[in-house]
Structure formats: structure tokens, C-alpha cells
Amino acid sequence: MRSETLSLPGTTQGTHRTVTVQRFGTPGARPRIHIQASLHADEIPAMLVADKLRRHLTRLEAEGKLVGEVVLVPIANPIGLSQAVLGDMLGRFDLTDGRNFNRDFPWLAPAAAARVQGRLSDDACANTALIRAALADALSEMRPQSPAQHLKVLLMSLAVGADWVLDLHCDHEAVMHLYTLTPLAEAVAPLARLLGAHALLTADESGDHPFDEAVSRPWAALRQRFPQYPIPLSCRSVTVELRGQADVDHDLADRDANALVAFMTHAGAVTGAMPDLPPALCQPTPLEAVEPLTAPAAGVLVYRRPLGAAVEAGEIVADIIDPVTGQAVPVASQGGGLLFARIATRMAFPGNRLGKLAGTRLRRSGNLLSP
């Protein structure tokens, strides 16, 4: 393992933060896999999985079984990790401006397109190398201002040249689920099967430029911009939601790390027998068909249906109970689907998002992700 420490500017004079990057395998070898943990810094299961994974990678490297390169960022957000307020960590939003740490990543497609204009050919491999260099050059010319912007550029610079990017997150309370681009669904299916994902959510564009799309969607955009040339989708990125925030458990983390190693074997970065793929627990669901459950009133939130339940259209998923009058307001599903995530607090306020269903009937538009 080769470890390096990269500096971030602080918010005031005399302060700074660092990001530790751990590299395994041969520098520059393919496939290159980038894995980062807890971009939302209060999503702790990812950091435990990263620790388990580092142990596997150290052993595999010592045994000469790493034929690709793996870049591991075990703590992707030192800014959010420092945001402890009255004993609670607030790692999803930057307290300086309220922005989500996993939104507003740089959109590099236009700058990359200008750089490759007139230079593409009928050689797909040459085009891949050309585009990777163009994306890296475009990123190097950015001039971030705030610490969070510096962090986003740094993380993208580590990932933009990878063949696979795995961004490890979790939800409040959830079953295992994944997000990826629609054209990558088939390539991501083995990962979903190995992790035991209950939902594989896909979109051509989900909105607000999250990290996974910032590194992979430029390839789809350039393919559309230059249809006369072969442009592979050479950066395949996935957001992996490792269940819920309270699912910090050695057995679960060991299982997840083993699944990620099996996937790296499947992807050709680790030598050995190809892993058997378990049966798929789900089929890809368009992100636009995900139904958010919203609180119509304030009160005590009581779920009627457990995580992972198949919910019918019109079925009541939860009650919101007025603790003074005892009046219960039901929260029903419009279209039905799999209840794959829900909030951890049990006090609801009007307009709160209470949970998410992976359905088939609804078709939303606009920004498709949670705030």
C-alpha cells in the first residue's frame, strides 16, 4: 500500500484539513478502481467497510493478486467529519452555506468536448485515452474558492481517470440499494447481485450533479455530441447505499467488503476464480419511478410496513399521530413499490420526506434525488 496525504485549505488562517489516499496494485495498471467512503460524513457504515477493504487489499497486494490499481479514500469528507453540533455530527450539508456535499460537482463535458474536437478517430482505445486526458486537463484548470469546492475538485481528480468508481454511502434506514446511470445498468448488475441489492435505481440525469454522475455522465454526453466516433462509457460509476446509518456492524461490513473484492475479481482487477453471482434480488428501476412518501401533518411517526416490504398502490405505509388528540393521519402509497428507505426520526413535520418506494407506475421529473 502506498499512502499519501493531500491538503485542503481551511476556512480561516492557520487551519487546514487533509484527505488520506491509499493506493494498491501497480500505478497506472488497468482496470483502475476508485473507492471512496462517507462523502456524506455522517454515513459511518462506509468507513467501516473501507477499513475491512483495506485489509483485504493489503493482503491481495502482498500475494501478488492485484493486477489492476485500486485507489481507496477511507474518509472522503474531513470537512463534514468536523461538523459536530451539540453532540450530533451533521455531515450531509456544509454548515458554511447549507449545500449538500454530494451535489454541485463540476460538469466537465463542455470543456472536454472543446479539447477533443477534431482529434477523435475510429480507434475507441485512443478516444478513451484522449477523453481521459481532456477531462483531467479541464479539471486542473478549475479554480475552486471554498474548502468544499476544493474537496470536490480533489475527489474528482482522483476518480476521473478510473474504469470503475464506487461511492460508498448509506441512507437513514434502508436496505442495500444502488444508483447508477441508465446505460450502465447491465454492467452494474453483477455488483448489485454480489452486494444483495434490493433496488438498482437508474437515471440518465438525476439532477444537481452528484459525484457519481460528475465522473461518468460526461462520457455519455460526449458520445451523444460525437456520434460518428466510437466512445465507450469508460468510467462506470455507482453510488452504493450500505443500508442505514445505524448498520455499523462487523458482520455486515465483512460481508460487504467480501462482496466488493468479489466484484473486483469479476472486473479483472484481482486474479482468481470468477465468483458465482447470486440470484438478482431486483431489476433496474428508473429513478423517475421512485415514489417519495411525504408527511401531510405533524406528529409521531409510526411505520406500518417494514423496510424491504412490497407495498401495494393505496396501501397505508405509516401513521402520523397527534400526541394531544390521538388523531391518526395515514400516509399511503400512490403507486406502490418496494419500501427501500425511510427516515430514522419518529417525529414528522408537514412536508418531511418519510421514505422512498422503488415503484413502476409513477414518472417524476426535475431533480430526482433527495435534498
Residue type, 82: S
For residue 235, what is its C-alpha cell?
Answer: 468510467
Dihedral sign computed on CA atoms, order 130, 136, 140, 144: positive
Q: Specify the pLDDT at position 371.
A: 81
Q: In terms of DSSP H, where are the helices of 63-108?
A: 78-81
3-state secondary structure of 147: helix
CA 6/CA 17 separation, integer angstroms: 9
Contact 202, 287 (CB under 8 A): yes
Show Cβ contacts of residue 144 under 8 Å, excluding neighbours closer than 6 positions: 150, 152, 153
Show Cβ contacts of residue 200 under 8 Å, excluding neighbours closer than 6 positions: 177, 178, 180, 185, 188, 189, 192, 282, 283, 284, 285
CA 315/CA 68 separation, integer angstroms: 48
Tens digits of pLDDT across the chain (371 residues): 999 999 988 766 777 899 999 999 999 999 999 999 999 999 999 999 999 999 999 999 999 999 999 999 999 999 999 999 999 999 999 999 999 999 999 999 999 999 999 999 999 999 999 999 999 999 999 999 999 999 999 999 999 999 999 999 999 999 999 999 999 999 999 999 999 999 999 999 999 999 999 999 999 999 999 999 999 999 999 999 999 999 999 999 999 999 999 999 999 999 999 999 999 999 999 999 999 999 999 999 999 999 999 999 999 999 999 999 999 999 999 999 999 999 999 999 999 999 999 997 777 877 888 88
* 131 closest CA partner among 159, 105, 108, 154: 108
Q: Exposed, middle or buried, 103 (CB in 10 Å: 0-12/13-18/19+)?
A: middle
